[in-house]
Every structure is written in structure tokens, then in C-alpha cells.
Amino acid sequence: MSTATVDTHTTDHDDHDHPSDALYWKVGGMLGILTLLEVGTYFITDDPYSHELAPLLIGGLLALMVIKFITIISFFMHLKFDSRIFRFVFVAGLVLAVGVYLAILSTFAYFDSGYEAGLQLLR
């Protein structure tokens, strides 16, 4: 196979335009504001589970966490602008991790009574 043949099959370059510095400042500012919003919930209550607005507070905190996560990997890590292969590699690891550990957590939740009984025996 000649080099020329290989080059014609090049399909997915990672030569890309990175965001401007102005956009980085905006994204950084937005992330700062989102963090302030997150911390603000602590001043409403330090125990979101027992608050009457628990679903709103916990759902809001999780939503803010996901927005910050996606913003950082998209803009700061350039996943939005880079090759799709990088996106696939990272998202594959992420999905695998979330899937595996959700399954494990579900399993533990299901067998929770057995775990407690085991602890009682140990005591």
C-alpha cells in the first residue's frame, strides 16, 4: 500500500478551530455562576433530602452538575470541536462506568436487607 493510498483514506482529522479567548472567559464566567447557584442551595438547607422542596433541590443540583460536566468537556476539553473518535472513546468509557456502577448500586439496593442482616450477625 503506498502512502498516497493511505492519505486518500484520511477521513477524520483533529485539525480544528479552538474557541476564542473571549468565549473561554464567557464559559468560565457561566461555570462560576452555576457553582454559585449550587452553593446557594446550601444556604436554603444543608439537608436537601428532608426539605419540602427536596425533589426540586436535588434535581436542580444534579442538573447543574450535568450542565457543568458537559460544558467543561465540550468547550475546555474541545470535545465539541475535536474529532468524533475522541468523543466516542471518552463517552464509551463514561457510559460503561455509569452503566456498570448503576447496575452494582441497584444490586446492592435490592439485596440491602441481606447486607443489614449480615452486619447484625457480625455484631
Q: Which residue among 2, 9, 52, 113 contacts other proteins (CB under 8 A)?
A: 9
Closest approach, Cβ 97 to other proteins, in A, equals 3
Is 111 one of the binding residues for other proteins (CB under 8 A)? no
CB atoms under 10 Å from CB of 75, counted, come to: 20
| Helices and strands of the chain, counted as H and E runs | 5, 0
Q: Least Å distance between CB 86 and other proteins?
A: 5
As a whole number of angstroms, the distance between CA 53 and CA 87 comes to 36
Residues near other proteins (CB under 8 A), total: 56
DSSP line for 74-109: IIIS-TTTS-HHHHHHHHHHHHHHHHHHHHHHHHHH
Binding site for other proteins (CB under 8 A): 3, 6-7, 9-14, 18, 21, 24-25, 27-28, 31-32, 35, 38-39, 41-42, 46-49, 58, 61-62, 64-65, 68-69, 72-73, 75-78, 83, 85-86, 89-90, 92-94, 96-98, 100-101, 104-105, 108, 119
